[in-house]
Each structure stands twice: as C-alpha cells, then as structure tokens.
Amino acid sequence: MRNSILHGLLGLVLLSSGASAAEISDGTVKIGVLSDMSGIFSDLSGEGAVTAARMAVDDFVAAHEPDFKVELVTADHQNKTDVAASRAREWYDTQGVDMITDVINSAVALAVSEVTRDKNRVLMVTGSGSTAINNEQCSPNTVFYAWDTYSLANSLGRTLTDQGYKTWYFVTVDYALGKAIEYDATKAVEGAGGKVLGSLHHPMGASDFASFMLQAQSSGAQVIGIANAGADLHNAIRVANEFGINQQQKIVGLSASMTDVHALGLATTQGMLLVEGFYWDQDEPSRAWSARFQEKTGNKPNMLNAATYSAITQYLTSVQTLGSDNAEAVLADLHGREINDMFARNGRVRADGQMIHDVYLYQVKTPAQSSGPWDYYRRLETIPAERAYQPLSESRCSLVTGGGA
C-alpha cells in the first residue's frame, strides 16, 4: 500500500513538473562530491569518498550502459560553511550539477541543504550525522543517508547504562555534531536510568586535550563520552590513554569508526564499543566490494565510503528508472524504494528524509584476538532499523509534523 501511494504521487509529480520519459537535462547527469579534502575529517572522507564515488559511477555505467552521460566533480569545502554554500550554488547555477553528496561536517551539510532546497536539486548526505538535518532543519530535497547521532548515541548510551555504567560525563565539540551527539546520548542514558554528571565544550581542532580530559576525569563519572570526531576524537582518546584515565573510567567514542580504530591502533582502542552501519567484513557482498576499494586505495573502506557508493548508485538507478533527473521525481522514487545492497540492509527513506537501515553494535578486538590488518571488530548485536533510529513520533521535522514547509 505504501509503495503504491508513493508511486502514485510520483506520477503526479512527473505530470505537474513537466518531466517526460526522456528528460535528462543536457543529456548528462552530474554529481558533486563536496568533502573535507585537507582538514580534520579528511581521513574519514576526503579521497576515500571520491574513490567510492568514482567506483559507483564506473560500475553503474558498465552494468547499465545508460543513454545519458554521468559526470563527477569534486571540491574541498575546507570545513567552512560559506565556502561550501558558495561552491554548491556555483555547481547548481553554472555547472549543471544535479546531486551533491558527502558534505562531511554537520554545519556544512546544513548550509548546503539550504542552498539545495533553494535551487530545487538533490542532496544525499553521507558524511554528516547531526539530527538537525532531519529534524528542525529538514528539507524535502535532502536525503540523510548514512548515519546519524541518534542511532549511534542512543544505542551506545542505552547499552552501557543497562550494563551498569550509570554515571556519564561528556567532552563535546562545540558545533552541531557534538551538540547532537550529547543531546541524543543524554536522552538514552537518562531513559535507561543513568545520570549525566556534566559536560564541557571545546572548539573544533583544539590543540590540547589534556585539561579537558583531566576535568572529565575529576567528575568521577563511570563513563566519559567523547562527543566529537576526526582528529579531535583521536587526541582525546590518546590523552585518556597517556594519563591512564581509561584504566579507571570507560572511554566511549560516541561517533568513532573503523578509521579511528585503524589510526589509533588496537592497543589503544581495545574493548571499545562502537555502533556502525557498515563494516567491511560483515558479509560476502561487503567483503567483495571492500576488496576492490582496497585495491584502489590501499585501505579498507569505512562506513562513509560505502554509503557514498550506495547513495550514488541508488540515485542513478532512480534517474534511469524514470528517464529523468527532475529533482522532485527522483526524490519521490527514492522515497518509494527498498534499499538492500553492499552498504544497507532493510533500508528505506522516511518522510523526514532519513534513510533508516540496520546498524550493528561492535566491540574492538584485543591485539591477540585480531587475525591481522583490518580485523578489528567483533559483532555483538544487530539493531533493526526501526529500533535504531529516532521514531517519527518524536520528529521535529515540519514535513512530518505538518508545521509548514
């Protein structure tokens, strides 16, 4: 019934927008990867995102031989919202870009989402995780594709509190991502009967984490939740290890990923719990695709790399199915499809733009448990999509609440 209604709406969109069965603007579908190519998130995304995007385009063209061209453009947003918004506007206005993806850094993602809505194009966010993207600042033109702070922080906060770690303290980066992580984790901890003793906020790219971590240590909390990402996360965990803080208190990287484990090493991260939506060794399709990615980069892909490949593939599939790159039509088709591929299991795009899918609770292996390079995780639990993500009944998105577009 749901799919029938969505495809009926799709037909109305095509008619009302004037889209025809063969409407590909300029005969070319152009995709922009807007990423951090040189800053603190470049290891998480950057060249890895670009490689994944090129693989997606090449694989789609080879498999489907579409009667339209597919082009890829890339740029470094430098973690500056004005740079990102300006580049997105230029791509849409003068370069014929139809869809932008990645946009790691939540402040950047929110800025590009506004431009995308204004220009009526498509944004598929695979790098950023702030729940503002699908709540207060949701947009009908934005698909929140890879992960969000709710699914990670909720799962970790609930699990650890249920295990008896009842008191928490947060070390939080002072921008959209960190605030969203702390908010969602606090709800999970308190909902499970725990207590948050306090938090401190630090600037992005802080040079010295010793004072922050020592202040967190002095709180006496059983868990210190690190609500940041990239180099900030690495520095916080290194300091905790150097000062022996992790010997008395549990250190949790609330948005940590395999890339972080690889950079820090198993000796530093062993025993840490993480929630991810993708791991290269989770099943045969993931292993096969990841082997190809490693041949090109020398590294296994992380969740964001895999999500970028998946998002572009799904987008191009919708364009080919419709014979049109009309934004409203493609978005309606994306909302109507089920997504099961090398990245996502039981995926679907909800009314708030969130692509929900199963996620996994992992524990980082000890060096003795690892069989070799990249063998980092032991799966503890599969968390179904409907349980992992914020329920629509709690949504603050106007597309769900009816509070205006």
- Mind listing the pLDDT tens digit for each residue in 32-57? 999 999 998 898 999 999 999 999 99
Q: Identify the pLDDT of residue 284.
A: 96
Query: In the CATH scheme, what architecture does the domain 2-147+282-357 have?
Result: 3-Layer(aba) Sandwich (3.40)
Query: Do 2-147+282-357 and 150-275+359-388 fold alike per CATH?
Result: yes
Q: What is the pTM of this model?
A: 0.88
Question: How, if at all, do strands 167-173 and 142-144 pair?
Answer: unpaired
Instruction: Give the whole-angstrom CA distance, residue 95 versus residue 103.
Output: 18
Better pLDDT: 304 or 230: 304
Confidence of residue 404 (pLDDT cuts 50, 70, 90): low
**Sheet containing strand 250-253, strands side by side:** 195-202, 167-173, 223-227, 250-253
Position 69 pLDDT exceeds 80: yes
Task: Tell me: pLDDT of 17 over 50.
Answer: no
Q: What is the mean pLDDT of residues 12-40?
A: 74
Neighbours of 11 (CB within 10 A): 11
Decide if pLDDT at 329 tops 60: yes
Show Cβ contacts of residue 283 under 8 Å, excluding neighbours closer than 6 positions: none
Distance between CA atoms of residues 379 and 236, nearest Å: 25
CA distance 51 to 35: 12
pLDDT at 14 over 60: no
Mean pLDDT on 316-335:
97
CA–CA distance, 52 with 65 (Å, rounded to integer):
19
Q: What is the mean pLDDT of residues 312-323?
A: 97
Q: What is the per-residue pLDDT for 4?
A: 44
Q: What is the pLDDT of residue 79?
A: 95
Q: Is 146's pLDDT higher than 90?
A: yes
Cα separation, 24 vs 174, whole angstroms: 42
Residue boundaries of the structural domains of the chain: 2-147+282-357, 150-275+359-388
- Go through 93-119 and write b for each residue having 16 or more CB atoms within 10 A of its CB, e for each that does not: eeeebbbbbbbbbbbbbbbbbbbbbeb
Q: What is the pLDDT of residue 223?
A: 96
Higher-scoring residue by pLDDT: 124, 153: 124
Q: How far is CA 388 from CA 138, 357, 377, 381, in A?
A: 19, 8, 19, 12
Amino acid at position 370, single letter = S
Which comes out higher in pLDDT, residue 176 or 279?
A: 279
3-state secondary structure at position 100:
strand
| Tokens, residue 381 | 């639990």
Q: Is the dihedral of CA 250, 256, 262, 263 positive or negative?
A: negative
Two structure tokens written together for 380: 């503890």
pLDDT tops 50 at residue 1: no
Interval 296-306: pLDDT, tens = 999 999 999 99
Integer CA distances (angstroms), 110 to 101, 102, 362, 398, in order = 12, 12, 29, 16
pLDDT at 239: 95
Residue 23: pLDDT band by 50, 70, 90 thresholds?
Answer: confident
| pLDDT band with cut points at 50, 70 and 90 for residue 175 | confident
Q: What is the token pair recorded at 298?
A: 């020398």
Q: What distance in Å separates the CA atoms of residue 134 and residue 110, rounded to the nearest whole number? A: 10
Number of H helices, E strands in the chain: 16, 14
Instruction: Determine which helix (DSSP H) or strand (DSSP E) holds 276, and give its type and residue range.
Output: strand 273-276
Measured distance CA(138)–CA(134) in Å, rounded: 4
Mean pLDDT of the chain: 92
DSSP lists the bridge partners of residue 400 as none
The class of domain 150-275+359-388 in CATH terms is alpha beta
Element (H, E) at 227: strand 223-227
Return d(Cα 268, Cα 237) in angstroms, integer.
8
Under a CB-based contact definition with an 8 Å cutoff, are residues 131 and 157 in contact?
Answer: no
Residues in the chain: 405
Residue whose tokens read 């698909």: 143
pLDDT of residue 25: 84
Contact 382, 279 (CB under 8 A): no
Q: Is the pLDDT of residue 195 over 60?
A: yes
d(CA 130, CA 396): 13
Which amino acid, residue 63?
A
What sign has the CA pseudo-torsion 216, 170, 112, 299? positive
